[in-house]
Amino acid sequence: MTEQIEPDLSVFFTAKSVAIVGASNQFGKVGYDVVHNLAQFGYPGEIIPINPKSKEIQGYKAYKALTDYPGEIELVFISIPSKYIINVIEEMGQLGIMHVVIISAGFRETGSKGARLEQELGEKLKHYGIRAVGPNVVGLVDTHTPLNGSFAARMPIKGNLGFISQSGALITGILDWSLAEGMGFSKFVSLGNKLDLDEVDFVRYLSQDEHTHAILAYLESITYGDKFIEISRQVSQSKPIIVIKSGSSKAGARAASSHTGSMSGADTAYDAAFEKAGVIRARSVEELFDTATAFSTMPLPRGPRLCIITNAGGPGIIATDAAEFAGLELCVLAADTIEYLQSELPAAASTINPIDVLGTGAEREYGLTLNAVLADDNVDMVLVITTPQGMSEPVKVAHKIIELHQQYPDKPIAASYMGGVDLAEGTSILKKNGIPTFAFPERGITSLLGLWKYAKIKQDMSKRLLEPEQFEANKDEVLEIFDSVINKGRVTLLGSEAIAVARAYGILAPDTRTAFSITEALRHAEAIGYPIVMKISSPDIIHKSDIGGIAINVKTEEEVRQQFTKMMNAGRQNYPQAAVMGVDIQEMSKVGRELILGVSEDPQFGHMIMIGSGGIYANYQKDVSFGITPINKIEATTMLERTRIHKILQGVRGEAPSDIERTINTLQRVSQLVTDFPEILEMDINPLFVFDENQGINAVDVKITLDRTKILKRQEEEIS
Amino acid sequence: MTEQIEPDLSVFFTAKSVAIVGASNQFGKVGYDVVHNLAQFGYPGEIIPINPKSKEIQGYKAYKALTDYPGEIELVFISIPSKYIINVIEEMGQLGIMHVVIISAGFRETGSKGARLEQELGEKLKHYGIRAVGPNVVGLVDTHTPLNGSFAARMPIKGNLGFISQSGALITGILDWSLAEGMGFSKFVSLGNKLDLDEVDFVRYLSQDEHTHAILAYLESITYGDKFIEISRQVSQSKPIIVIKSGSSKAGARAASSHTGSMSGADTAYDAAFEKAGVIRARSVEELFDTATAFSTMPLPRGPRLCIITNAGGPGIIATDAAEFAGLELCVLAADTIEYLQSELPAAASTINPIDVLGTGAEREYGLTLNAVLADDNVDMVLVITTPQGMSEPVKVAHKIIELHQQYPDKPIAASYMGGVDLAEGTSILKKNGIPTFAFPERGITSLLGLWKYAKIKQDMSKRLLEPEQFEANKDEVLEIFDSVINKGRVTLLGSEAIAVARAYGILAPDTRTAFSITEALRHAEAIGYPIVMKISSPDIIHKSDIGGIAINVKTEEEVRQQFTKMMNAGRQNYPQAAVMGVDIQEMSKVGRELILGVSEDPQFGHMIMIGSGGIYANYQKDVSFGITPINKIEATTMLERTRIHKILQGVRGEAPSDIERTINTLQRVSQLVTDFPEILEMDINPLFVFDENQGINAVDVKITLDRTKILKRQEEEIS
């Protein structure tokens, strides 16, 4: 329901008075827990239990109904059987209470009856403009107000991470885990069925929340993909968004008729969308929190140059490996830093990165080393590793790290305290003071990497947000072709039609005309000029060359006649069910490097665009990269650069470079085409011939399939 | 020093009497810690402190020297300055004490002086046949004897994991961490400088140790690669070996002159070697232990079919994603299992995998569900997830899991108790009772995956251990060619020579003769028969086609003349420093699919063999897979199957399949060739043309480079 105006969600977290419909004195009931949690965890506002049978709930005066309460109620929590809830919403509407958290389950998740009930509920909410969290949620928590409006058994530690979760159980699990880990949160929000408010609303809200430094989300689906991308792109310029997305989408299955569809995995669209949105994707729950934790307290690094300080070689090497694998750089220390360390550390110490202060390294050695590297301009971030050794002073070292972090607040530090008993106190001190600390060095690297990933997103986002260039295009011609195709009862364009569409958008493609008879074929060949290419024209035959449906270098009328008959027969024999429309007569192209450029529609995110190695083996080469349209030049360039064939296009083995510029331009033009025409369901250009630099490209085979429903809808709109 | 006879290392762990040279009363000294740890952690044998200045050390009678002790000493720990150690070894030799742990540092790791000292020490050890751990180690620990002969501050929990570490600090860190985690070990061994005993010795020893169920290792280098592979292949048939290998090898750098060398990353050889050895490679310390922990107590699964039981949807989906990503299968439960669960669980519960017993699921629901799936033949392993919910009974559920594991000891179970406070007791009970338990579901999956990976290794290893087939080959001819090349002062074979070598091993290749003049070129062309192929012949020009150094389809004498002159000039112009030997005249081949087949020498593991997509873009396609020679047919087949081009070779898009059989055969023949001739440093066949099924292959371009030192050595041996 994000079509509504941007809601102010602050009431959900800072309401001055909350009513609990279904409040209970009975331990074990959700309505007990919510009242208990509000009271126990220090909610400073008015707690108003609503229960028709009790006068008092957990020491608070109870009311029979919302209408009985004499004062103002800002927020309502509901925990009563689902069928009674609509009445409560009606009451709220009458009273002008505009915010509700519907904890109760018993809706869509239970089947069609529940789904109907949920729909009614939605209509009621909409009628009054009431904003709702849920139904089917654990509730929500704000540690700063504090407001624990949930049936979770615990209160999180106050902190700066905001966590949005589509799974309530994940909230209770993470909450319990975070207490042992010493990890703090600003807010927990359980999304539940997302009848009204969804991830987009809370991402937007948390972006403006002063207590939230990073936005974390566990999502199983995204309700409005386009909105999610749009809002996240804005938010990610000011706050990091880190998401774990679970549940493989089955979206890929339908699209198997196009190359683009069949080459994208179930999760490709989410990867492409998150990248476009500036969202950092975590691959596991642990990675989510390891990535997020540093944002609570640490600044962003200016660059990827890491310095490792350790008191033992092995863990230093492990950290080095992990850093290099992750794409961080092991910095080269300044000469005077090395000189200083050489003069202050024992002779056997390693004074080049990773710096090994040796097992004898104690507070003094760690302190002077950390101080020196934090002061070194070549260092962007530091990982401090400590293992339990005879001379270790883990607690003193911890205090030193904290002190130096305050002294150099502009450089992020993470720690790996390798141990669980002798290092427990030091670990606890570090965590309490905001130094991300882990038992294993690799997790420290993940943490610092999170900061660097986000720093890069911030750097790049301004360029990626530039409006895509608009090329001159003949929209009317495309419109006419599409209408004509649909009116003829087809959804797939003939080759000649698809090429006409491409050409209308300035995509270089050969003159192509469909012949429905030999006579017509000869006429077209004459007009185009020999030699020509002939291709069987059928929306149902995907791999034309496999059945001899393509003839190149056709030079004579006689050959045209022969091929026409041969192709029509081959089509009928091999695909008796196929609608063979005729034969496309095409201008002969010189041969270039074979790329594939495609578009397929993703149900969540709209058009997904693809570029990579093409030709008949495209499916086996698996050398493609994806983006979500519309894309600008920067995005198109990045997409192409990610393919292996990009290197070859640049010119290798003494060969001339290819026309990369025009290739990128073609990507942008296709993006514009499908953005202008949402009714394009799939589009493949394969092969897209790319010639030498400045020699252009040639889209010799173009395939377009339309979404009939969308076109009919547009036609209706045009009429009305 | 593994060339020696297989040592009996049991004395290191079960010695009845140990002397500590450098034993001390001074807290903070290593010599204090070792005596203290032996005594404090219950070593049942004789503790014999050696110290020239004290009569008593920590309550034990001390002796001035080993020779002063009247009884038998089985094992000696040494912690004195490095320069005095050789004398102690001499004393040991005189006394016939054959086992020593040299804890002291101050050897190779400190520079050239230390390295000389270490060499002398090694000679002394060898002289007496004394077996040594170290120098430069933390020591070793056996929890079953118990014997804590280390200066680590703690004693590990008794368990069944044996841990070998090349980093002492990693042992102290892991030990400390394991105490908090409740993870048990059978033995810790610190390898240090590996002057005598190394990873191979301890892998072999632990394979026979009844207390060790799984062998874990942290390695930074492998001393004898071939021995490591040989022993691990045997051991991995009875016990899993799980290794974290850190430190990027720089081996790849040298080999950049061959395709095979340049296409292998720094770590490729280790990956290939571990696979050949049946070693499971862990990518992080956490993965090492998550993978290993289940081996302490759990049986191997019969298959990859996993059942997930959860009380919450979200974590169940997370586990499902992780399992599918890892290659486990979400099992389909038997119909009667589903029916039973439907009758016993609430209507809203999900009775298909992952099974959701709902938030109301308590001991009863978990118990009946786990019982049913353990009894289901479709289930190979189970992950039980619990999140803290109102109705959860985590402790009772834990006991139920333990009980049912005893009832069904043949199916592995792991648990994810998502939480840190309310689930702490249940987690602790599970761990103490041998159920691998983790806060996050993904780690539970890693744990079960470890079992399945090893089960597969056991299944496959017998086939992979089959002796490679021996093909008929003309070794003498190869020998003659190599000698002649070396005698002519070259290390790189001419194209014609390399092809002759290939043909001597039955590798199909075109008739190729080197011409040193136009006259000779014409004579060769005549003999071979037109049309022919001409290629510039130079050991220094790698990419011949880039400078016009290849001409195909040369049809006339006139063309031969022209090309000869052109190529010789092009060679001299483009590579003024290159030794241009002439021009190879080659039988013209029909064109096939282009593969690359190569070999390069790895300093650790010998010959690494490679197959994949070939041609001039091989380096950019990055479609190759690697193995360590010698390989048998199974291994060759697996290698080819891993490439993307394998699919294309099978025949796609209506094309005929290619001669896969002969391709695999060629891989085996090349493996035999380089195994027979260790002096082959690098070999590239690119392109290797592969024709249609039963049509064979053609190795049209073969390049071989020799290791001069090895050949000279062989020649010397032959003379003497």
pLDDT tens sequence across B648-677: 999 998 889 999 999 999 999 999 999 999
Residues of A in contact with B110 (CB under 8 A): 348
Residues 6 or more apart whose Cβ sits within 8 Å of residue A456 = none
Tell me which residue in B220, B420, B617 faces A177 most closely, judged by beta carbons.
Answer: B420
From B580's Cα to the closest Cα of chain A, the distance in A is 20
Q: If you measure CA to CA, which chain B residue comes closest to A446? A: B284
What does the pLDDT look like over B521-538, one tens digit per residue? Answer: 999 999 999 999 999 988
A111 CA: distance to closest CA in chain B (Å):
9
Region for residue B79 given its phi and psi (left: phi exceeds 0; alpha: psi -120 to 50; beta: otherwise): beta
Given pLDDT bands bounded at 50, 70 and 90, which one contains residue B261? Answer: low
pTM: 0.93
**pLDDT above 90 (res A246):** no
| Cα nearest neighbour of B182 on chain A | A420
- Of B620, B561, B614, the closest CA to residue B585 belongs to B561
B118: left (phi over 0), alpha (psi -120 to 50) or beta: alpha
Q: CA torsion B675→B676→B680→B685, rounded to 10°?
A: -70
> What is the reported pLDDT for A548?
85
- Cα–Cα distance measured from residue B218 to residue B228, given in angstroms and rounded to the nearest whole number: 14
Between A177, A244, A314, which is nearest B418 by CB? A177
Quote the Cα angle for B255-B260-B263, to 5°.
Answer: 90
User: Coil, helix or strand for A534?
Assistant: strand
Between CA B298 and CA B294 the distance in angstroms is 5
Q: How many CB pairs under 8 A join A and B?
A: 223
In 3D space, the residue among A685, A318, A330 whose CA is nearest the CA of residue A501 turns out to be A685
**Is residue A214 over pLDDT 50?**
yes
Give the residue from A150, A281, A289, A418 with the most B CB atoms within 10 Å of its CB, the best one to mutate: A418
What is the per-residue pLDDT for A2?
A: 41
What length is written for chain B? 720
Compare CB distances from A318 to B178, B285, B616 and report the shortest one's residue.
B285
Which chain B residues have a beta carbon less than 8 Å from that of A151? Answer: 390
Please give, rounded to a whole number of angstroms, the shortest distance from the CA of B114 to a CA of chain A: 12
pLDDT of residue A439: 94
Q: A-chain residues within 8 Å CB-CB of B246? A: 314, 317-318, 320-321
Cβ–Cβ gap A314/B181 under 8 Å? no
Average pLDDT, chain B: 92
What distance in Å separates the CA atoms of residue B9 and residue B7, rounded to the nearest whole number?
A: 6
| SS3 state of residue B453 | helix
Separation CA B3–CA A592 (nearest Å): 59
Q: What is the mean pLDDT of chain A?
A: 92
For A320, the closest chain B residue by CA position comes to: B247
Instruction: Give the residue-averaged pLDDT of A532-551.
Output: 85
Integer Cα distance of A134 and A150 in angstroms: 12
Q: Which residues of B touch A284 (CB under 8 A)?
A: 318, 322, 440, 442
d(CA B33, CA A560): 94
Q: Give chain A positions within 8 Å (CB) of B318.
A: 170, 244, 246, 284-285
Q: Residues of chain A with pLDDT > 90: what percent? A: 82
pLDDT of residue A359: 85
Peptide bond into B70 cis (omega under 30): no
Between chains, do A620 and B644 touch, taking CB under 8 Å as contact? yes
* Residues from chain B contacting residue A165 (CB–CB below 8 Å): 314
Tokens at A327, concatenated: 């794409």
The amino acid that residue B546 corresponds to is D
Calculate mean pLDDT across residues A84-96: 97
- Mutation target to probe the B interface, by most B beta carbons within 10 A, among A137, A166, A176 is A176
**Residue type at B311 in one-letter notation:** N
Mean pLDDT throughout B402-421?
96
pLDDT for the residue B264: 67
From B167's Cα to the closest Cα of chain A, the distance in A is: 5
CA atoms of A152 and A131, how far apart (whole Å): 22
Is the distance from CB of A349 to CB of A358 less than 8 angstroms? yes
Residue of B nearest to A442 (CA): B284
Distance between CA atoms of A230 and A275, rounded to whole angstroms? Answer: 12
Nearest CA in chain A to B656: A546
Residue with tokens 């004074």: A351
Look at residue B83 and tell me whether its pLDDT is greater than 50.
yes
CB contact under 8 A, B653 and A546: yes
Nearest-CB residue to B167 (from A218, A284, A312): A312
Question: What is residue B423's three-state secondary structure?
Answer: coil
Span B316-346, pLDDT tens digits? 999 999 999 999 999 999 999 999 999 999 9
Rg of chain B on CA atoms, in Å:
31
- Residues B180, A421: C-beta atoms closer than 8 Å: yes
B-chain CB neighbours of A311 within 8 Å are: 169
- Taking CB atoms and an 8 Å limit, are A166 and B314 in contact across chains? yes
Which band of pLDDT confidence, cut at 50, 70 and 90, is reported for residue B265?
Answer: low
Instruction: Check residue A704 and give its pLDDT.
Output: 95
Checking if the pLDDT of B260 tops 70, the result is no
How many Å apart are CA B598 and CA B589, to the nearest integer? 20
Q: What is the pLDDT of residue B579?
A: 75
Name which of A176, A285, A315 is nearest B440 (Cβ-Cβ). A285
Chain B residues closer than 8 Å to A543 by CB: 653-654
Long-range CB contact pairs, B632-638, < 8 A, 24+: B632/B464, B632/B466, B632/B467, B632/B468, B632/B469, B632/B668, B633/B466, B633/B468, B633/B469, B633/B664, B633/B668, B634/B463, B634/B464, B634/B466, B635/B276, B635/B464, B636/B611, B636/B664, B636/B667, B636/B668, B636/B671, B637/B664
Give the pLDDT of residue B259. 57
Note the pLDDT of residue B177: 92
**Is there a contact between B248 and A321 if contact means CB atoms under 8 Å apart?**
yes
**pLDDT exceeds cutoff 80 at B180:** yes
Partner residue facing B389 (CB), from A172, A218, A311: A172
Please report the pLDDT score of residue A262 as a whole number.
Answer: 66
B511 to each of A158, A256, B499, B596, B674, how far by Cα in Å?
A: 79, 47, 8, 19, 22
Q: How many CB atoms lie within 10 A of CB B379?
A: 24
B501-539 in b/e form (b: 16+ CB < 10 A) is bbbbbbbbbbbbbbbeebebbbebbeebeeebbbbbbbb
Q: Which residues of B touch A173 (CB under 8 A)?
A: 312, 315, 387-388, 418-419
Q: Are A163 and A174 in contact (CB under 8 A)?
A: yes
Q: How far is B27 from chain A (nearest CA, A)?
A: 10
- Give the residue with greater pLDDT, B573 vs B401: B401
Whether A440 and B286 lie within 8 Å, measured CB to CB? yes
Whether B125 contacts B107, CB under 8 Å:
no
Contact, B534 vs B571, CB < 8 A?
no
Q: Do the Cβ atoms of B387 and A153 come within 8 Å?
A: no
Give dist(CA B184, CA B142) in Å, integer: 11
Test A387 with B419 for CB contact under 8 angstroms: no
Q: Domains of chain B (ranges plus CATH)?
A: 11-212 (3.40.50.720), 295-464 (3.40.50.261), 511-588 (3.30.1490.20), 593-719 (3.30.470.20)
Mark yes or no for CB contact A321/B169 under 8 Å: no
- Cβ distance B348 to A387 less than 8 Å, yes or no, reads no
Q: How far is B291 from chain A (nearest CA, A)?
A: 15
Question: Could you tell me the pLDDT band of residue B109, with boundaries at 50, 70 and 90?
Answer: confident
Read off the amino acid at residue B218: Y
Choose from B250, B281, B317, B546 for mutation: most chain A CBs within 10 A.
Answer: B317
Beta carbons of B137 and B190 less than 8 angstroms apart: yes
Q: Kindly determine whether residue B246 and residue A387, on different chains, have CB atoms separated by under 8 Å.
A: no
Query: Are the beta carbons of B617 and A648 separated by less than 8 Å?
Result: yes
pLDDT-derived band at A266, boundaries 50, 70, 90: low
Residues from chain A contacting residue B165 (CB–CB below 8 Å): 314
The band of A248, judged by pLDDT with boundaries at 50, 70 and 90, is: low
Closest C-alpha among A549, A589, A574, A560 to residue A688:
A589
Nearest CA in chain A to B282: A318
Distance from CA of A106 to the nearest CA of B (A): 10
Judged by CB atoms closer than 8 Å, whether chains meet at A318 and B248 is answered as no
Chain A residues near residue B418 by CB distance under 8 angstroms: 169-170, 173-174, 176-177
Q: Which amino acid is at A567?
A: M
- Distance between CA atoms of residues A362 and A397, nearest Å: 7
User: Across the interface, do A387 and B169 touch by the CB < 8 Å criterion?
Assistant: yes
| pLDDT above 70: residue A260 | no
Nearest to B313 among A33, A167, A314 (CB): A167
More reliable by pLDDT, A460 or B391? A460
A620:B647 CB<8 A: yes
Nearest CA in chain B to A267: B321
Separation of alpha carbons A293 and A287, rounded Å: 10
The angle that helices B518-528 and B557-574 make with each other, rounded to 10 degrees, is 130
* Residue contact A218–B418, C-beta within 8 A: no
